[in-house]
Chains A and B, each alone.
Chain A
Amino acid sequence: MAHYSLRAATPGMLLTIEAGPGAVVSAGDVVARLEIMKTEIPVESPVAGRVVHVHVEVGATVADGDLLLTIDSR
């Protein structure tokens, strides 16, 4: 079991979490959405696994590279 740190690839405001703690995700699944410049940017998980932690609250602003989710990849 390995912990994968999913980081924001763009600054923005966290609009939704699509996969909360416990959710099982496949590679390519949208796990969160960010908003910037009136545009919704889906955050895809590059790995399959289970979400163990969400580090940001909906409505919070994130910077490029900020940690969003920790995923247990198998």
Chain B
Amino acid sequence: MSEETWDPEIAALRERQRLARELGGPDKVRIQKSKGKLTVRERIEQLLDPSSFRELGSIAGAANYGPDGELSGFTPSNFLFGRGRIDGRQVTVAGDDFTVRGGAADATIHEKQVQAEQMANELRLPIVRLLDGTGGGGSVKTLESSGFTYVPACPGWNWVVANLGAVPVVSLGLGPVAGLGAARLVSSHYAVLVKGIGQMFAAGPALVSAVGREVTKDELGGAEVHAKSGAVDDLAEDEQGALALAGRFLSYLPSSVDSLAERTPCSDPAGRCERWLDGAVPRDRRMTYKMRRILEGVVDQGSLFEIGRRWGGSVITALARLDGWPVAVIASDVMVCAGAWTAEASQKLTRFVELAETFHLPVVNFVDIPGLMIGVDAEKAGTLRHGGRALASVYQATVPWCTVIVRKAFGVAASGMSDHTRFRYRYAWPSGDWGSLPIEGGIEVAYKAQLEAAEDRDALRREITERLNRVRSPFRSAEKFLVEEIIAPHETRPLLCEFAHLAAPLRRTGRSGFTFRP
């Protein structure tokens, strides 16, 4: 063995890695901390299991050399990536460093972003993006240094798009993101903005103010704005909260479309029957109830993980577990638009069905739908187009699907509770109330002439209502086998746990016939 070693180079490597860990330097790091933000390396450390980060491109950056050819200065790339573990599972993690040029893309080394996305895809690992950068173009000042312009293209976008059909993608908005950063945030299965520090916009306040409207970053694209617009799924109170949401979201999904979500140990008995469910739905059909309480009573205790609570409110979408098996839960929230499908709710439903189909999650659907949203505003919002799209996603889905009709099921929207041409794995509660039109609204139209001719219009209306109500019993539908099985609400959990067990071996790995789009 030679006496000579590569120790000097190893020492130089360590020195360069040490310099890279200083990020944009102590002053810039201080500014970052003064805004209440963690540094990118602190974020990665908090996201991952201890000491599990394996960085790639750790000494990529802009180096300066003296006349002697020795390194005289070094600024690391403001995009870090590597692999690590969350709850023991390998993931790809990629983070922007705002302390170097405000995270601007001209200091990034684009190929790192491309390789991060490609690694996630080819190694079949979920990817978590920690976004804290301004955009793709940097500043128009760079025109002077580069001396040319370019036709825009988003680096690695083929992989970003391919990943939506291949591996779970989570993005956290942990600073102001515009342009390319914003596109990376929304191009995810699960996107979160942190209140106060995370904002997203096509262009920031300076540009917007220049065309006439003074706005702050938060007014323009803060967490509250976009959790409500649906441009991101949820908001978090702080960075720790956002990092925890990322881990929780991933816990329900497989590492890629080539594997299946695993069952976790469950201490909640599958046979648990909640008697209070039998009184959860009011007998008066005009009255509401809290669907989330019902869901929490049915799924494994503590397993309900709602996505997109602040937008498209009449449809609740959530991941949950049934006897340990991860499932996708859809439900109507009758406290918003009485559970009607609005344009927004339809879009939310479509995306969620795409998520379930992409990652082979069985769907459980709790239905209380009075129809598509009606009215001038609803028509202007294009509700029918979006509702039609939601219906198409339901009919294209191939994952195991179980429906529970909790109360109302009217019209086209309710017909989207499931693909009726598949085996109808469906239960109805005794509160079930269905048809092509609800009686309350339909009488005025159907009996218009008689009502107009009547001496006592209200009395006739009551008489007709009573007559129609007599044939409204769900038992009459069940006699004709138009609804497959009516159950006592307290039986719902055992029956759905049974569904989850039957569904588990039916799940098929691989790329789905249709996959997720932002």
Q: A9-B335, A10-B335, A10-B337 are in contact. Are A40 and B377 (CB under 8 A)?
A: no
Q: A9-B335, A42-B288 are in contact. Are A37 and B374 (CB under 8 A)?
A: yes
Near A by CB (< 8 A), chain B positions 86-120 give none
Q: A9-B313, A10-B335, A10-B337 are in contact. Are A39 and B370 (CB under 8 A)?
A: yes
Q: Complex Cα distance A43/B334, Å?
A: 13
How big is chain B's contact interface, by range? 20 to 34
Residues of chain A with a CB closer than 8 A to B440's CB: 38
Residues of chain B with a CB closer than 8 A to A12's CB: 337
Decide: B377 and A39 in contact? CB cutoff 8 A: no
Check if A47 is an interface residue, CB within 8 A of chain B. Answer: no
Check if B336 is an interface residue, CB within 8 A of chain A. Answer: yes
Residues of chain A with a CB closer than 8 A to B374's CB: 37
Residues of chain A with a CB closer than 8 A to B334's CB: 39, 41
Decide: A63 and B377 in contact? CB cutoff 8 A: yes
Decide: A38 and B313 in contact? CB cutoff 8 A: no
Q: Mark A8-28, 1 if CB is under 8 A from B, else 0.
A: 011110000000000000000
Shortest CB-to-CB span from B344 to chain A, Å, is 9
Q: Complex Cα distance A42/B334, Å?
A: 11
Q: Complex Cα distance A41/B338, Å?
A: 8
Question: When the two chains form the complex, which single residue of B228, B286, B337, B373 contacts A40, counting CB atoms closer than 8 Å?
Answer: B286
Q: Complex Cα distance A64/B311, Å?
A: 11
Decide: A37 and B288 in contact? CB cutoff 8 A: no
Check if B430 is an interface residue, CB within 8 A of chain A. Answer: no
Residues of chain B with a CB closer than 8 A to A58's CB: none
Q: A9-B313, A10-B313, A11-B377 are in contact. Are A38 and B336 (CB under 8 A)?
A: no
Closest to B228 in A: A65
Decide: A36 and B438 in contact? CB cutoff 8 A: no
Number of A-B contacts (CB under 8 A): 50
Residues of chain A with a CB closer than 8 A to B337's CB: 10-12, 36-37
Residues of chain A with a CB closer than 8 A to B285's CB: 38-39
Near A by CB (< 8 A), chain B positions 434-455 give 438, 440-441
Decide: B338 and A36 in contact? CB cutoff 8 A: yes
Shortest CB-to-CB span from A1 to chain B, Å, is 23
Q: Mark B311-336, 1 if CB is under 8 A from A, else 0.
A: 00110000000000000000000111
Residues of chain A with a CB closer than 8 A to B340's CB: 36-37
Main secondary structure of the interface of A (DSSP, over half): loop
Decide: A9 and B336 in contact? CB cutoff 8 A: yes
Q: A10-B313, A10-B337, A11-B377 are in contact. Are A41 and B288 (CB under 8 A)?
A: yes
How big is chain A's contact interface, by range? 10 to 19
Q: A9-B335, A9-B336, A10-B313 are in contact. Are A40 and B288 (CB under 8 A)?
A: yes
Residues of chain B with a CB closer than 8 A to A40's CB: 286-288
Q: Complex Cα distance A23/B373, Å?
A: 34
Q: Complex Cα distance A38/B370, Å?
A: 9
Main secondary structure of the interface of B (DSSP, over half): loop
Shortest CB-to-CB span from B513 to chain A, Å, is 34
Near A by CB (< 8 A), chain B positions 236-274 give none
Check if B371 is an interface residue, CB within 8 A of chain A. Answer: yes
Decide: A10 and B286 in contact? CB cutoff 8 A: no
Shortest CB-to-CB span from B232 to chain A, Å, is 18
Q: Complex Cα distance A57/B177, Å?
A: 41
Near A by CB (< 8 A), chain B positions 329-378 give 334-340, 370-371, 373-374, 377
Closest to A35 in B: B286
Shortest CB-to-CB span from B176 to chain A, Å, is 24
Q: Mark B121-151, 1 if CB is under 8 A from A, else 0.
A: 0000000000000000000000000000000
Q: Mark B411-431, 1 if CB is under 8 A from A, else 0.
A: 000000000000000000000
Shortest CB-to-CB span from B481 to chain A, Å, is 29
Decide: B288 and A38 in contact? CB cutoff 8 A: no
Q: Complex Cα distance A40/B377, Å?
A: 20
Residues of chain A with a CB closer than 8 A to B373's CB: 37
Closest to A44 in B: B335
Residues of chain A with a CB closer than 8 A to B371's CB: 37
Closest to B286 in A: A40
Q: Complex Cα distance A37/B371, Å?
A: 9
Q: Complex Cα distance A10/B286, Å?
A: 16
Among A37, A40, A63, max chain B CB count under 10 A is at A37
Decide: B441 and A41 in contact? CB cutoff 8 A: no
Closest to B311 in A: A64
Decide: A37 and B370 in contact? CB cutoff 8 A: yes
Among A40, A63, A65, max chain B CB count under 10 A is at A40
Residues on B close to A: CB < 8 A?
Answer: 228, 285-288, 313-314, 334-340, 370-371, 373-374, 377, 438, 440-441
15 CB-based A-B contacts, threshold 8 Å: A9-B313, A10-B314, A10-B336, A11-B377, A36-B340, A37-B337, A37-B339, A38-B285, A38-B286, A38-B338, A38-B441, A39-B285, A40-B286, A40-B287, A65-B228
Sample of 11 further A-B pairs with CB below 8 A, known A10-B314, A38-B370: A9-B336, A10-B335, A10-B338, A36-B340, A38-B286, A39-B334, A40-B286, A41-B288, A41-B335, A41-B336, A64-B313
- When A and B form their complex, which 6 residue pairs have the shortest distance between CB atoms, in order from nearest? A37-B338, A39-B338, A10-B336, A38-B440, A37-B370, A40-B286
